[in-house]
Structure 1
């Protein structure tokens, strides 16, 4: 399973999303789109959004901390 989290350090919902993944022992790659221009471009192309967090779970895009859909995609 591939989980990517596009976030910024100042985003409280990003922290909640990452804490939720950590609490459920889900490994993820984190991309700080405030400094990583390539990751920011990738996130915008995938989601059509500039807001964070954006989660990419095996190619399924979730914008924001949508715990219900995150849990569903991760079979939690």
Structure 2
């Protein structure tokens, strides 16, 4: 749902498969302190789970 929302709104993002990529998993834990998916990391905030209203507000949509 999060990927579709981002795609539908023309938002570019970088996706990591933390289940298969050990380096990505370690980086996600270091930066976001979570392995829950989706976890969306911004410079100053981490959104865990898909909350459309919260994501819209953060992206200014």
TM-score, normalised relative to structure 2: 0.84
Q: Secondary structure at the match of 1:29?
A: coil
Gaps of at least 5 residues in structure 2 are none
Instruction: Indicate the residue corresponding to 2:16 in structure 1.
Output: 31
1:21 aligns with 2:40: no
1:58 aligns with 2:43: yes
RMSD between superposed Cα atoms in Å: 1.3
Q: Secondary structure at the match of 1:38?
A: helix
Name the one with the larger strand percent. Answer: 1
Number of matched pairs: 61
Report deviation, 1:34: 1.2
TM-score, normalised relative to structure 1: 0.70
Rg larger for: 2
